């Protein structure tokens, strides 16, 4: 870390609590991966009953998306989701400060031919990423395998954390793009870059449409199809799965969305949501169910949370 680039105001007392958290995060990077896994399960099991607000959101989402599961199965999945969220903290430490050799040894790749085929079209690539708890480590893995990755991200409200996010993520990609900067996103795609884009969050009804996601009508951004239409770039679904045997991770690229975008906005939004659903079905406990994905409801429908 180059502290000379850190603004002096970020050393003020009001940031000391955040500095302590960052110091602890930094210390985690020295732990063996197997210890990270065990600690996340231990801490997740302890703190899950205490995290009432997060637990309520997770429970609600799981009941909506997995009604076929028994109550006991839903409760177990909710606990596993919380444990996975704890593991994401360790993964952030690993991706920010972990040694390259350690990171490289922890992952394997499936479907890279889909990314290569898309890149060969010379129109740039929209990498359709979804909010799994493995997102941070996914960026580190991806950057070790391609050299023209640009990441669309949402800024943090905490100035110190935002500095670290920018500083560390720029070590794992070619550039960062603010999520509201449509012009910059389009420019980067047209320049032939692979642009990381994660549209699976609820930003309200503006520039969105209600489309089915996990059998729930969900406020879905129109931006993915608009970006594809503006640039002609193929859309490649991508995510990183934490291997259930504790051996590390699997990077998975899927084939480009077919005939995308079409003329029908609802069909396009449904195709994006379906691609994410297919990933979730493989590792449902690793998706970020702590997000209020179904916050915005159709007119006249009661809220879930």
**Furthest-apart CA atoms within the chain: distance in Å:** 55
What pLDDT was estimated at residue 173? Answer: 76
* pLDDT above 60 for 304: yes
Mean pLDDT of the chain: 93
What pLDDT was estimated at residue 157? Answer: 85
Nearest in space to 125 (alpha carbons), one of 151, 95, 144? 151
User: For 109, phi and psi rounded to 5 degrees?
Assistant: -125, 135
Instruction: Band the pLDDT of 1: cuts 50, 70, 90.
Output: very low
Nearest in space to 173 (alpha carbons), one of 134, 131, 138, 201? 138
Instruction: Band the pLDDT of 59: cuts 50, 70, 90.
Output: very high
Q: What percent of the chain has pLDDT over 90?
A: 81
What pLDDT was estimated at residue 3? Answer: 43
d(CA 35, CA 38): 5
Per-residue model confidence as pLDDT tens digits over 240-295: 999 999 999 999 999 999 999 999 999 999 999 999 999 999 999 999 999 999 99
What predicted TM-score, i.e. pTM, was given to this entire model?
0.91
């Amino acid at each position: 870390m180059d502290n000379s680039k850190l603004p002096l105001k970020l050393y003020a007392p009001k940031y000391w609590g955040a500095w302590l958290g960052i110091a602890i995060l930094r210390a985690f990077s020295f732990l063996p991966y197997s210890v990270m896994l065990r600690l996340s399960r231990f801490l997740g099991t302890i703190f899950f009953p205490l995290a009432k607000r997060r637990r309520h959101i997770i429970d609600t989402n799981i009941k909506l998306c997995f009604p076929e599961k028994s109550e006991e199965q839903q409760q177990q999945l909710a606990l596993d989701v919380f444990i996975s969220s704890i593991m994401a903290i360790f993964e952030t430490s690993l991706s920010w400060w972990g040694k390259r050799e350690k990171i490289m040894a922890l992952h394997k790749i499936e479907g890279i031919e889909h990314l290569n085929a898309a890149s060969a079209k010379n129109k740039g690539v929209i990498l359709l990423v979804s909010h799994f708890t493995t997102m941070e480590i996914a960026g580190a893995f991806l950057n070790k395998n391609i050299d023209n990755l640009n990441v669309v991200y949402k800024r943090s409200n905490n100035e110190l954390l935002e500095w670290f996010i920018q500083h560390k993520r720029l070590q794992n990609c070619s550039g960062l793009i603010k999520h509201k900067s449509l012009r910059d996103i389009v420019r980067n795609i047209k320049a032939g870059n692979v642009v990381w884009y994660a549209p699976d969050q609820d930003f309200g009804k503006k520039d969105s449409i209600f489309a089915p996601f996990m059998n729930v009508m969900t406020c879905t951004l129109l931006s993915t199809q608009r970006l594809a239409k503006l640039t002609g770039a193929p859309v490649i679904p991508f995510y990183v799965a934490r291997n259930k045997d504790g051996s590390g991770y699997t990077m998975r690229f899927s084939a480009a969305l077919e005939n995308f975008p079409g003329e029908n906005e609802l069909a396009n939004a449904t195709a994006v949501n379906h691609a994410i659903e297919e990933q979730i079905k493989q590792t449902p406990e690793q998706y970020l169910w702590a997000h209020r994905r179904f916050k915005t409801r159709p007119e006249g429908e009661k809220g879930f949370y």
